[in-house]
Amino acid sequence: MAALVLAEHDNATLKPSTLNAIAAAAKAGGEVTVLVAGSGCAAVAQAAAQAAGVTKVLLADAPQLADQLAENVAAQALAVAKGYTHILAPATAHGKNVAPRIAAKLDAAQISDIVGVESADTFTRPIYAGNAIATVQSADPVKVITVRTTGFDPVAATGGSAPIENVAAVADAGTSSFVGREIARSDRPELTAAKIVVSGGRGMGSAENFHLLEPLADKLGAALGASRAAVDAGYAPNDWQVGQTGKIVAPQLYVAIGISGAIQHLAGMKDSKVIVAINKDEEAPIFGVADYGLVADLFTAVPELVKELG
């Protein structure tokens, strides 16, 4: 058995979600090889080589891989796929984009968003917005898998010293091209990797009011999140959305402010260690999952909370 993990990166740094995927790979498929496909991404390969439990790093470095276009990255993975029993990617926007293309070409039924490894061919994954957990068994010779990062503790980022092998890059598919990117720059921790998340919902009332959460996030060193209702209303950017179809988070502390607690929102945060809810509606479903609930007007409670935290 041997597993191939697709590294998630921006050509400069290895994204932490890769370390969760490596952990799942080690459980499922024995020896772990990491594929770094990108352009000018030698530093990423070096970081991957240091990750604990990695046996080998394959580096495909070419301009046509720079922007992580699905057609080219999937082709690159397929070019090196021979001999692997498991191919895994983190269940991030990038992993979800690329992995099914690889699975289809290998005629394998992909197992999406796994949260557990029962054996080399049996995995658990949430369905129906996390309201049920399915245990599924694959009979395919190659298992193509995306890994929910909150389901696996990351392997250590350092300590390993795997060899790096250069592999030939595939040719550009020529059917897609990169136009531009608007990535928000922020000094706050990344939402999916943060230890504390402060999220706002429709109760925030407006985009201006959302700024009320910033001093609180600053005090706690937290990432900012939002419910779908808040994103749909334009109060918060789309990449802040926590929920079934947004980001899945499981921080040590999740603070839900003005969030009612729709099923699809709970699907994205109910594995958090401690949940705090502040809402003026004492009947709000969020209180059904909150460890600590405060029935209060958020516009007085949040500034008070900032003050109390000193």
SS3 83: coil
Nearer to another protein, 126 or 160 (CB): 126
- Report the alpha-carbon distance of residue 176 to residue 190 in Å, rounded: 28
Rounded to 10°, the helix 298-308/213-220 angle is 30
HSE-CB for 82 with a 13 A CA cutoff: 1
Q: What is the DSSP letter of 51?
A: S
Nearer to another protein, 5 or 196 (CB): 196
Instruction: Please report how close the Cβ of residue 133 comes to another protein at its closest, in angstroms.
Output: 5
Nearer to another protein, 54 or 145 (CB): 145
Q: What is the DSSP letter of 247?
A: B
- Report the alpha-carbon distance of residue 99 to residue 262 in Å, rounded: 29
Amino acid in the structure at residue 241: Q
Instruction: Please report how close the Cβ of residue 75 comes to another protein at its closest, in angstroms.
Output: 10
Nearer to another protein, 27 or 148 (CB): 148
Q: For residues 229 and 257, is the Cβ–Cβ distance under 8 A?
A: no
Instruction: Please report how close the Cβ of residue 258 comes to another protein at its closest, in angstroms.
Output: 15
Instruction: Please report how close the Cβ of residue 155 comes to another protein at its closest, in angstroms.
Output: 20
Nearer to another protein, 33 or 146 (CB): 146
Residues sharing a CB contact under 8 Å with residue 299, sequence separation 6 or more, in sequence order: 209, 212
Instruction: Please report how close the Cβ of residue 1 comes to another protein at its closest, in angstroms.
Output: 19
